[in-house]
Structure 1
Amino acid sequence: MQLSGLIVQLLNALAGASSLFLVAAGLSLIFGVTRIVNFAHGSLYMLGVYLAYSLAESLAPVLGAGWGFWLALPLAALAVGLLGALIEALLLRRLYPAPELLQLLATFALVLVVRDGVLALWGPDELLGPRAPGLRGAVSVLGRQFPAYDLFLIAAGPLVLLLVWLLLTRTRFGTLVRAATQDREMVSALGVQQAWLFTAVFALGALLAGLGGALQLPRESANLDMDLNAIGAAFVVVVVGGLGSLPGAYLAALLISLVKALCIWLGQVTLWGVPVNLSKATLVVDFAVMAAVLVWRPWGLLGRPQALVRSTGEGEAPLRPAGRGARAAWALLALALLALPWLGASDYTLVLGIELAVAALLAASLHFIMGPGGMHSFGHAAYFGAGAYGAGLALKALGLPMAATLVAGPLLAALLALVFGWLAVRLSGVYLAMLTLALAQIAWAVTYQWDDLTGGSNGLTGIWPASALADTARYYLLVLALVLAGLWLLRRMLHAPLGLALRAARDAPLRAEAIGVDVRRVQWLAFVIAGAFAGVAGALFVYSKGSISPEALGIGKSIDALVMVLLGGVQTLAGPVAGAVGLTWLQDAVARGTDYWRAVLGAIILVLVLVFPQGLVGGAQQLWRRWAARRGAAAQEAGHG
């Protein structure tokens, strides 16, 4: 290990820290003032890269390669900032009174729309931007070559931090922003128009994201995967640094980049006699750092402890057992689904029915801890994937019969939830959500890299049901029976003392502790139960597909589960089932009808969010109550007449 190699890696870390900070700074600003967890921030970063590419290509023939390139970068950032202002004014402003998770769903829908918009405008191929004029060469560092443009990036990060700090501390706008971060109601009482302040802050945050993307043009090609990659890294930096803290964001970006650089420099090492390739750890080192920091200092490096206070929002009506009519409707629906094979349903319909049932159980398991438990998990796919891999490995490696594998998968998922839940229940709110995301990414990285056991990126194949269940109709009936039993058990537990204690821990943890409820133990148990049922869904999934890959534990699968719950409605027990069926059916139907199915799906979700802010089931219940009230009022008027 040469010292020159270490110096070069440390310089790479500084350049990477500047790039990370530019994206995370905007996200931190937006959350600090508007309290919106902007999932579309990565899309704004991606747009910055693509716009910079097109502007550089268009301006080069007119102004020359040098002026064209360097002018394209700030113009792209300004364009993204203006787009951010439009997004805030036309969409997000309508959602400020709504729960934070609903705002998250809306920004996720924007991710789908923007991605297909980029696909339509720039195509699916990666676009390699020009090298920076004037900084195309390299400089010698202890005999090693280091890109000159990266030196420019090293200076850009602290410079932007200084400029934003001066804006926030030396101007009236900055004073208002800092005041809104501390007490938005007081700012409004002083006569400040919050709407325009929020628009300006969102535009500034979007501009920083666009600038961060534009500056990456000479370093990496523009591609459609940049949005999710960027938002994952930005969330990590913001949470590690402390929500709303710009210096914390830069410190976190620097820490994560340095740890990655050291892993690359050390390469293959031996720990306790076992060879370990640390360079592969770069896939997950940022999430590992976030998990460690949150366990040690839950509010981040430079965050404030009071940020951990959980917002319970409006009080919810207590859960009531289903009435006679509702029970009869559910029974008829179950009988109709069970009768499908005898009604001549095609194999396609039955396969779609299996997917819908598995999705419903996954969403219901997440709702168990999100709704009644108030614990927002962004990494629920870890237990789904653990159940799938547990069943697959029990069949392939241990040679167990299918019935035993359907027990082994959920058991592995429950054990994983036992470990992850013990860490997660110590946090709340956004910090809990980010820790679950970090832990899930660690599980994904282990699965992705453990080639000898999990098959690595190729996953496991050849996992099919036993011969007695090889027929699609028979396997459909098995899946439906297990899913219905799982949904019934989850519902029963929510009406049992465990469910009452879980809701008490959500709504009034101090009072719950005072009357003898062990809040952490109840929440921990809920995590294990939710993980086990998600594992059942994963085990059923792997047999329906015949294979499993690490994507089953990835961020995308966790987002799907989260969207299902939010789309159906968090405050209702039927919500996650309706959301799972609705989202899965929409994905299937829209994907078969257009190449730009993500944009159509995102637009549908946005409409549903605006029309039914309480979710599909919650909105339907509200409409029913209004209709019943009007009918009762009309009947009363007729009686008086």
Structure 2
Amino acid sequence: MAFYVAQFLTGLASAASLFLVASGLSIIFGVTRIVNFAHGAFYMLGAYVAFTLTEYFSGAFGFWGGIVAAALAVATLGVLVEIVLLRRIYHAPELFQLLATFGLTLMVEDLVVLIWGPSDLLGRRAPGFKGAVDFFGQSLPSYDLFLIVLGPAVLGILWLLFQRTRWGVLVRAATQDRDMVAALGVNQKWLFTSVFAVGVFLAALGGALQIPRDAVNHAMDLRIIVDVFVVVVIGGLGSIFGAFVAAVLVSELNAFGILIFPKISIILVFLVMAVVLIVRPWGLFGKREAPARRTPGLTVNPWRPLTSAERLAVCIALLAAAALPVIGGNYAVTVGSEIAIFVIFAISLHFLMAVGGLASFGHAAYFGLGAYGVAFLAKMAGLPMIACLLLGPLLGCLGAAVFGFFAVQLSGVYFAMLTLAFAQIVWSVAFQWVEVTGGDNGILGVWPERWASSPSHFYWLSLGIAALAAAGLRILVFSPFGFALRAMRDSPLRSEAVGINGKRVQWTAFVISGTVAGVAGALFAYLKGSVFPDNLGIPLSVDALVMVLLGGVETVSGGIVGAIVYKALNIWLVSQTDLSKLVLGGFIVLIVVAFPKGIVGTLEMIRHRHGGGSSEASSETRLMGSRIETAE
């Protein structure tokens, strides 16, 4: 019994730091509506700066002074980021803000390696808490007991701040209805800045307090951000008490899961998150938000069919791409195959986001399921390559059908977070079910047959499938199904009033999108000759989001262009510099600030300003206008 009590107390100690980071993210997201992927980077910076101040400037600050000074320094940096970067894009679509913070995360990852080096850093013990306390034969670190007390103390301070101060009242009001707060004359600009500063301070403090417990390393940001998102969603957006309860719940599941349910220990927290989102989407202690108001300029403009000149340009581009094996070497052809595969992956998500208005944060699940489907059929059933390519993506289709049924019941950020939870569940199964998936060792030897084994032949295969996928999805866009899906995106109530079964249409779109992603995963398995759990991971899902947003979510071809630019730039930078993430992140931030509509969206906007609109575009606009008037 003493062992389990000690394990429980260890979980409480971990919950303290998790609560600090999660409460900061909950405050920021609740008020500014920014899905701040950089929050983990601020946590990591807090740990690195605290290590430097306590190790090399202990005479000036002392240990505890160094911890607080590190949090204040990173909070100051957060204020600069908010003023210089985020303040410029508050009126941009929320997903572009996600893209900007992701670019910032990439930059920070390389900067910490450049400044502090790639090796893990071991911080010193906290003065006064260097020993352990004997608990019925179990040794508990005294520092863990300090953290157990610190968690409720910080919760109490935050409660007083938000319940007994005017600033706290404004923050709570903005969490529920930002527009009403603005209508009352509150300066949202500085309210957002102060909220961001407090949130970053809490994240940095959580990181700084970890240096006596864990080694400081440049992977801390991604390790913490997943758990933080889980805590925020379970607890409820904007709820500090909810973040505290959820942090304890998640930490205890992590502490006891490995003991009680070793086979599914990693899945537990995501199962809880999925159940909470399905039963109570706004979290255990969250509140229903005020109805979202449509921001002018964010709706996707009616699309138009290709003109004759554009069809000719597409044919020329395909012929030029097909000629790559003639003018390039094997390396260039292999890179071309990878880009073609990621074009398929990107357009599958782009279809769901642009036409359906559904932003999936876990789209890699169906990419990875397609890859595993091919691996199972090729290695275990011994089927030929053609059969594997036809049947393997069906595993992605099955996953999308099951997960999509629950996901489309939600909308907005709750839909996105549920897709993230499902993706992490699939990743956890692949990682822990070693007997079937090989676990972290993966499934090796998934090589194409002789007819497709040469780089040029595989490239032509990938390019052909990419062209067919793009053409098929474009046909769907202009089909009656596509019009119904776009109607659900723009006005669910009106759509259902004219007889459209909205949830069924969205579920069908989800299944189509997941199946196409599975096709990309199937080709990727043959390209790499192996399948690993990383093919299902969050970084790959984020890559897909970046490709779509980079190209332009308000366009038809944005996914294609975004995938080509992002993947080609990523591969080229890795071969040219050790600071590829820094350069790529800076490029992403520049695109978001300078071209918030994406590459293709910006080019189309410039063309229309110079009178480039076509008669077909006008006719398409009139057609959509008549449809909307009929619906109304």
TM-score per shorter chain, which class? over 0.9
CA offset at residue 464 of structure 1? 1.1
Residues 1:207 and 2:178 aligned together: no
Q: Name the counterpart of 2:248.
A: 254
3-state SS of the aligned residue for 1:520? helix
Q: Name the counterpart of 1:335.
A: 319
Residues 1:436 and 2:430 aligned together: no
CA contact (8 A) 1:80 1:210 kept: yes
In structure 1, give the amino acid aligned to 2:149. A
Q: Name the counterpart of 1:584.
A: 567
CA offset at residue 421 of structure 1? 0.5
User: What aligned pairs does 1:51-130 form with structure 2 within 5 A after superposition?
Assistant: 51-60=49-58, 62=59, 68-130=62-124
Q: Name the counterpart of 1:44.
A: 42
Q: 2:301 aligns with which of 291, 311, 317?
A: 317
Distance 2:124 2:96 in 1: 40
Residue-by-residue CA offset, 1:435-480 (whole Å, 9 max, x unaligned): 1111111101111112221111011111111111111111111111
User: What aligned pairs does 1:428-507 form with structure 2 within 5 A after superposition?
Assistant: 428-507=411-490
Q: Mean alpha-carbon deviation: is it higher for 257-266 or for 377-386? A: 257-266
Residues 1:161 and 2:155 aligned together: yes
3-state SS of the aligned residue for 1:493? helix
CA contact (8 A) 1:308 1:427 kept: no
Residues 1:616 and 2:599 aligned together: yes
CA contact (8 A) 1:308 1:429 kept: no
Residues 1:546 and 2:540 aligned together: no
CA offset at residue 47 of structure 1? 0.4
Residues 1:524 and 2:507 aligned together: yes
Q: 1:11 aligns with which of 9, 21, 24?
A: 9
Residue-by-residue CA offset, 1:344-371 (whole Å, 9 max, x unaligned): 3211121111111111110000111111
Distance 2:523 2:295 in 1: 35
Residue-by-residue CA offset, 1:216-255 (whole Å, 9 max, x unaligned): 1111111111111111111110111111111111111112
CA contact (8 A) 2:447 2:527 kept: yes
Distance 2:313 2:443 in 1: 40
CA contact (8 A) 1:462 1:546 kept: yes
Residue-by-residue CA offset, 1:509-566 (whole Å, 9 max, x unaligned): 1111111111111111111111111011111111111112110100111010010001
**Runs of 5+ in structure 1 lacking a partner?**
267-277, 631-641
1:629–1:400 distance in 2 versus 1, CA, 3 Å: closer
Q: Name the counterpart of 1:274.
A: none
CA offset at residue 189 of structure 1? 3.7
Distance 1:41 1:441 in 2: 19
Distance 2:213 2:264 in 1: 22
In structure 2, give the amino acid aligned to 1:214. A
CA offset at residue 308 of structure 1? 7.8
Q: 1:373 aligns with which of 318, 333, 356?
A: 356
CA contact (8 A) 1:39 1:111 kept: yes
Distance 1:72 1:559 in 2: 34
CA contact (8 A) 2:408 2:507 kept: yes
Distance 1:307 1:465 in 2: 53
* Percent identity of equivalent pairs: 53
Q: Name the counterpart of 1:23.
A: 21
CA offset at residue 312 of structure 1? 7.2
CA offset at residue 84 of structure 1? 0.7
CA contact (8 A) 2:368 2:533 kept: yes
Distance 2:94 2:452 in 1: 44
Distance 1:373 1:451 in 2: 36
1:265–1:395 distance in 2 versus 1, CA, 3 Å: closer
CA contact (8 A) 1:385 1:538 kept: yes
In structure 2, give the amino acid aligned to 1:196. W
1:624–1:32 distance in 2 versus 1, CA, 3 Å: same
3-state SS of the aligned residue for 2:611? helix
1:95–1:507 distance in 2 versus 1, CA, 3 Å: same
1:308–1:216 distance in 2 versus 1, CA, 3 Å: farther
Distance 1:393 1:326 in 2: 41
CA offset at residue 319 of structure 1? 1.9
1:403–1:265 distance in 2 versus 1, CA, 3 Å: closer
CA contact (8 A) 1:395 1:463 kept: yes
The TM-score, its normalising length taken from structure 2, stands at 0.94
CA offset at residue 316 of structure 1? 2.7
1:459–1:265 distance in 2 versus 1, CA, 3 Å: closer
Q: Name the counterpart of 1:35.
A: 33
In structure 1, give the amino acid aligned to 2:382. G
Distance 1:349 1:68 in 2: 55
In structure 1, give the amino acid aligned to 2:323. A
Q: Name the counterpart of 1:282.
A: 265
CA contact (8 A) 2:23 2:202 kept: yes
CA contact (8 A) 2:276 2:283 kept: yes
In structure 2, give the amino acid aligned to 1:31. F
Distance 1:318 1:517 in 2: 19
CA offset at residue 259 of structure 1? 2.5
Distance 1:283 1:146 in 2: 24
Q: Mean alpha-carbon deviation: is it higher for 332-341 or for 14-23? A: 332-341
Distance 1:166 1:577 in 2: 50
User: What aligned pairs does 1:213-362 form with structure 2 within 5 A after superposition?
Assistant: 213-266=207-260, 278-306=261-289, 314-341=298-325, 343-362=326-345
Q: Name the counterpart of 2:408.
A: 425
User: What aligned pairs does 1:391-410 form with structure 2 within 5 A after superposition?
Assistant: 391-410=374-393
CA offset at residue 304 of structure 1? 1.4
3-state SS of the aligned residue for 1:145? strand
Q: How many residues align?
A: 612
Distance 2:399 2:612 in 1: 48
The alignment's C-alpha RMSD in Å is 1.6
Q: Name the counterpart of 2:176.
A: 182
Q: Name the counterpart of 2:519.
A: 536
Distance 1:581 1:508 in 2: 32
Q: Name the counterpart of 1:560.
A: 543
Residues 1:145 and 2:129 aligned together: no
1:337–1:417 distance in 2 versus 1, CA, 3 Å: same
Distance 1:57 1:368 in 2: 51
In structure 2, give the amino acid aligned to 1:129. G
CA offset at residue 310 of structure 1? 8.4
Distance 1:477 1:447 in 2: 31
Distance 1:629 1:540 in 2: 38
In structure 2, give the amino acid aligned to 1:485. L
Q: 2:588 aligns with which of 557, 580, 605?
A: 605
Distance 1:168 1:606 in 2: 33
Q: 1:364 aligns with which of 327, 339, 347?
A: 347
Residue-by-residue CA offset, 1:248-300 (whole Å, 9 max, x unaligned): 1111111222223332343xxxxxxxxxxx13533232222111111121111
CA offset at residue 311 of structure 1? 5.6
CA offset at residue 34 of structure 1? 1.1
CA contact (8 A) 1:14 1:154 kept: yes
Distance 2:293 2:10 in 1: 38
**Runs of 5+ in structure 2 lacking a partner?**
614-632
Q: Mean alpha-carbon deviation: is it higher for 356-365 or for 469-478? A: 469-478
1:141–1:280 distance in 2 versus 1, CA, 3 Å: farther
Distance 1:130 1:199 in 2: 33
1:555–1:489 distance in 2 versus 1, CA, 3 Å: same
In structure 2, give the amino acid aligned to 1:326. E
3-state SS of the aligned residue for 1:175? helix
Distance 1:310 1:554 in 2: 33
In structure 2, give the amino acid aligned to 1:153. L
Distance 1:392 1:189 in 2: 57
